[in-house]
């Protein structure tokens, strides 16, 4: 009985809050751990697909984290990767079907990349590193935190790329017509994946400039 | 001269540590070394006594670019008036091109040197001469009508992402001038590709296709004569049209020993071999084009002489240079003939091989080590 009455950890204890804020800056999946780069390059030409992608990843990571965390004591270690994959695949298919049903246009733009969420290193990484050894609630927060960190970078890249590449945001033209008459032209390179990589590089540059903890000792 | 020296010496303390204008020391430094030979010498160890430094190297390359640049200026005017059906005197044509190019050169140097000074200031090192040549190369590999703001953005991109993020001059992986051109080519294709842009203020009725553009669409009847292409009376980027002027520049570079002949020669050999291979294959008209056409059309010669030989981005080992140059030539011709999206392959070929140059060097060094180990074994047995 003494064990049960042990003081329960509050839902949003500092430790739990850290699970959410950590991946946004100090252990950001994209800029610090350099995971999930492929989708960051592929879906960020426009803002809309980037946001939908971020939300999809959030749903998949959070849900699979919670599920795996519930199952963690019952999974034989030798087949854990397969079990994790089955869970992720189920979630991805669910997300894919929902997207096809409600936002068909965006789902078409994202095309194969929704299916490829399965191979997004962030998800497998979180399941292996966190959900397999933690309780469901922290696992849920960890999933939300990591997908927020991922989504934040995605949105920033997509904002820059859509603004300079297509002169619009969410599909609405924002660069005034007068500028085009003056000779301004949209930057075609911004639409191409290499520029997404360079944008990621610039974000890492800025982040490290302001976050001294991230700079390795020489 | 003495008065100038005295003036500089008087100003110097202001720019040194603790001085009033310490923040601007790198600017002062670059200005001073531009006027006078630096008086810094090494103190310890053995060293080679030779007055060659980066400044002299860069000046030599600069001089070797002058013939192609002057011809380019004239050719800009010549093509312009030709498209209008006029033929004014020599100086009218020259000054037309001169005033077209001057703003591009000024913008390139302004933006490029400005960024170099900013980076030098932040990193506490001297502004070095790396941009001196790139700044002249960039105006020579763009069409004369390119909008200046695009040039400014491309130069900024090239200096920051082509060079400074790797640590500045001497540390870059790819040639900064070509990064600027590649940026323009992919970002603003409307102003640097197609038939409309190569002659400045072209009359609409006049065909402005470059020889490469003609070759790509199979329009071989409109090809200029070999003489015209060699001399450079063809539309194209400013500095690349005249193979003759480029060869004069190449002579200057080779006689002074600034550029390496291995790279230069093997680029031309690589291009010729690929051209000959295509001649043997002969599946379409482009493949049947005599191989020497490839060497005098478009930017092939310019790239071979001034871009591929860049000592920082080319392969460093003597043997590696042969492979590197040969592959540059081959890939350039390959892209020209096979890829319908890119009429000119030289830029992409050099950039690609820049990336592979360290790999080539690595294998050359490794194989050399293996060879010597084998020799050692044979002796010790």
Q: What is the pLDDT along chain B (381 residues), one digit of tens a residue?
A: 677 778 777 777 777 766 666 666 667 776 776 677 666 666 777 776 666 777 778 888 888 999 999 999 998 888 888 888 887 888 888 888 899 899 999 999 999 988 888 888 887 777 777 788 888 999 999 888 888 999 999 999 999 998 888 887 788 889 899 999 999 998 888 888 777 777 777 766 677 778 777 777 777 777 788 888 888 888 888 888 888 999 999 999 999 888 888 999 999 999 999 989 988 887 777 788 888 888 888 888 999 999 898 888 888 899 999 999 999 999 999 998 888 778 788 899 999 999 999 999 999 999 999 999 999 888 887
- pLDDT for the residue A2: 47
At how many degrees (to 10) do helices B130-140 and B176-187 cross? Answer: 40
Closest B-chain CA to A165: B187
- Closest Cβ–Cβ partner in A183, A192, A201 for B186: A192
pTM of the model: 0.85
- Closest Cβ–Cβ partner in A184, A188, A205 for B186: A188
- Bridge partners (DSSP) listed for residue A169: A172
Rounded to 5 degrees, what angle do the CA atoms A15, A18, A20 make? 125
pLDDT band at A42 (very low <50, low <70, confident <90, very high): confident
Contacts of A189 in chain B (CB under 8 A): 183, 186-187
B300 versus A1: the higher-pLDDT residue is B300
Closest A-chain CA to B162: A198
ipTM value greater than 0.85: no
- Residue A16 falls within a domain, yes or no? no
Contacts of B189 in chain A (CB under 8 A): 188
Domain count, chain A: 1
Contacts of B190 in chain A (CB under 8 A): 185
Determine, for residues B186 and A190 on separate chains, whether the beta-carbon distance falls below 8 Å: no
Q: A83 is in which domain, residue-wise?
A: 35-212
Picking from B186, B192, B341, B355 by the largest number of A CB atoms within 10 A of its own CB, the best residue to mutate is: B186
Extract the tokens encoding A127: 């399941």
- pLDDT for the residue A1: 43
Q: Radius of gyration (Cα) for chain B, nearest Å? A: 23
Nearest-Cα distance to chain B for A172, in Å, is 21
- pLDDT for the residue B41: 66
DSSP classification of residue A169 = E
- Residue A13 falls within a domain, yes or no? no
pLDDT band at A8 (very low <50, low <70, confident <90, very high): low
Burial class (CB in 10 A: 0-12, 13-18, 19+), A61: buried
- Closest Cβ–Cβ partner in A184, A187, A198 for B161: A198
Determine, for residues A188 and B183 on separate chains, whether the beta-carbon distance falls below 8 Å: no
B223 versus A163: the higher-pLDDT residue is A163
Count how many pairs of residues, chain A against chain B, have C-beta atoms within 8 Å: 23
CB under 8 A, 24+ apart: contacts of B22-26: B23/B121, B24/B121, B26/B117, B26/B120, B26/B121, B26/B125, B26/B126, B26/B127
Taking a C-beta distance cutoff of 8 angstroms, is the pair B216, B340 a contact? yes
- Closest Cβ–Cβ partner in A185, A192, A198 for B188: A185
DSSP classification of residue B278 = H
Kind and range of the H or E run holding A172: strand A172-173
- Residue A6 falls within a domain, yes or no? no
What are the distances in angstroms from CA B117 to CA B40, B105, B120, B200, B294? Answer: 21, 18, 5, 33, 40
B369 versus A178: the higher-pLDDT residue is B369
Q: What is the mean pLDDT of residues A70-84?
A: 88
- pLDDT for the residue B21: 67
Determine, for residues B187 and A190 on separate chains, whether the beta-carbon distance falls below 8 Å: yes
- Percent of chain A at pLDDT > 90 equals 4
Determine, for residues B186 and A205 on separate chains, whether the beta-carbon distance falls below 8 Å: no
Taking a C-beta distance cutoff of 8 angstroms, is the pair B93, B78 a contact? yes
- Residue A171 falls within a domain, yes or no? yes
Tell whether B149 is within 8 A of chain A (Cβ): yes
- pLDDT for the residue A23: 81
- Residue A1 falls within a domain, yes or no? no
Picking from A164, A165, A184, A188 by the largest number of B CB atoms within 10 A of its own CB, the best residue to mutate is: A188
Least Cα distance to B238 among B143, B167, B352 occurs for B143
Distance of CA B199 to the CA centre of its chain: 21
Residues A14-33: tens digit of each pLDDT: 777 888 888 887 788 888 88
Parts of chain B belonging to CATH 1.10.3430: 54-367
- pLDDT for the residue B372: 92
Secondary structure class of B303 (helix, strand, coil)? helix
Helical ranges in B85-170 per DSSP H = 90-123, 130-140, 148-162
Determine, for residues A183 and B191 on separate chains, whether the beta-carbon distance falls below 8 Å: no
- pLDDT for the residue B366: 94
Contacts of A188 in chain B (CB under 8 A): 186-189
- Residue A188 falls within a domain, yes or no? yes
- Closest Cβ–Cβ partner in B147, B153, B188 for A188: B188
Rounded Cα–Cα distance for residues B21 and B361 (Å): 44
Q: Return residues 151-170 of B near A (CB < 8 Å).
A: 153, 161, 165
Rounded Cα–Cα distance for residues B275 and B289 (Å): 8
- Bridge partners (DSSP) listed for residue A173: A168
Written out in words, the top-level CATH class of the domain with range B54-367 is: mainly alpha
Rounded Cα–Cα distance for residues B32 and A159 (Å): 44
Taking a C-beta distance cutoff of 8 angstroms, is the pair B178, B223 a contact? no
């Amino acid at each position: 009985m003494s064990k049960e009455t042990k003081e329960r950890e509050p839902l949003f204890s500092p430790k739990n809050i850290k699970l959410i804020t950590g991946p946004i800056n100090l252990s950001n999946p994209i800029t610090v751990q350099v995971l999930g780069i492929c989708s960051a390059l592929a879906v960020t030409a426009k803002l809309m697909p980037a946001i939908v992608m971020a939300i999809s990843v959030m749903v998949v990571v959070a849900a699979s984290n919670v599920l795996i965390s519930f199952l963690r004591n019952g999974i034989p270690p030798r087949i854990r990767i397969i079990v994790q994959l089955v869970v992720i695949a189920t979630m991805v298919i669910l997300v894919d079907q929902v997207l096809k049903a409600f936002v068909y246009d965006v789902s078409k733009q994202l095309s194969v990349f929704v299916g490829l969420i399965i191979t997004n290193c962030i998800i497998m990484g979180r399941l292996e590193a966190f959900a397999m050894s933690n309780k469901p609630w922290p696992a849920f927060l960890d999933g939300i935190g990591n997908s927020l960190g991922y989504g934040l970078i995605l949105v920033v890249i997509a904002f820059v790329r859509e603004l300079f590449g297509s002169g619009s945001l969410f599909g609405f033209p924002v660069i005034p017509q007068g500028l085009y008459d003056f000779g301004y032209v949209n930057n075609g390179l911004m639409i191409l994946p290499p520029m997404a990589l360079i944008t990621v590089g610039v974000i890492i540059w800025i982040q490290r400039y302001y976050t001294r903890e991230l700079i390795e000792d020489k | 001269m003495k008065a100038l020296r005295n003036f500089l010496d008087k100003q110097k303390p202001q720019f040194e540590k603790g001085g009033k204008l310490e923040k601007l020391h790198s600017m002062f430094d670059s200005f001073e070394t531009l006027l006078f030979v630096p008086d810094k010498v090494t103190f310890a160890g053995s060293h080679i006594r030779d007055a060659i430094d980066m400044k002299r190297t860069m000046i030599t390359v600069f001089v070797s670019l002058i013939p192609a640049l002057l011809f380019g200026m004239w050719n800009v005017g010549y093509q312009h008036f030709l498209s209008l059906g006029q033929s004014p005197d020599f100086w009218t044509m020259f000054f037309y091109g001169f005033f077209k190019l001057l703003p591009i050169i000024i913008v390139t140097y302004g933006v490029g040197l400005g960024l170099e000074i900013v980076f030098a200031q932040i990193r506490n090192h001297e502004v070095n001469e790396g941009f001196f040549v790139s700044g002249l190369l960039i105006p020579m590999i763009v069409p004369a009508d390119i909008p200046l703001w695009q040039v400014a953005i491309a130069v900024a991109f090239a200096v920051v992402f082509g060079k400074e993020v790797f640590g500045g001059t001497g540390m870059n992986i790819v040639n900064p001038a070509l990064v600027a051109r590649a940026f323009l080519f992919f970002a603003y294709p409307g102003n640097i590709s197609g038939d409309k842009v190569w002659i400045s203020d072209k009359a609409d009725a006049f065909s402005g296709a470059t020889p490469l553009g003609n070759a790509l669409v199979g329009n071989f009847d409109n090809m200029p004569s070999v003489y015209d292409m060699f001399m450079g009376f063809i539309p194209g980027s400013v500095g690349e049209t005249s193979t003759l002027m480029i060869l004069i520049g190449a002579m200057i570079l080779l006689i002074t020993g600034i550029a390496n002949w291995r790279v230069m020669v093997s680029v031309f050999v690589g291009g010729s071999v690929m051209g000959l291979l295509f001649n043997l294959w002969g599946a379409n008209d482009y493949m049947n084009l005599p191989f020497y056409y490839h060497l005098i059309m478009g930017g092939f010669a310019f790239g071979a002489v001034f871009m591929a030989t860049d000592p920082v981005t080319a392969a460093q080992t003597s043997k590696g240079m042969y492979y590197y140059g040969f592959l540059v030539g081959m890939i350039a011709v390959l892209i020209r003939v096979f890829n319908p999206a890119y009429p000119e392959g030289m830029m992409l070929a050099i950039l690609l091989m820049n990336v592979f140059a360290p790999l080539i060097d690595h294998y050359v060094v490794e194989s050399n080590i293996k060879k010597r180990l084998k020799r050692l074994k044979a002796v010790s047995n």
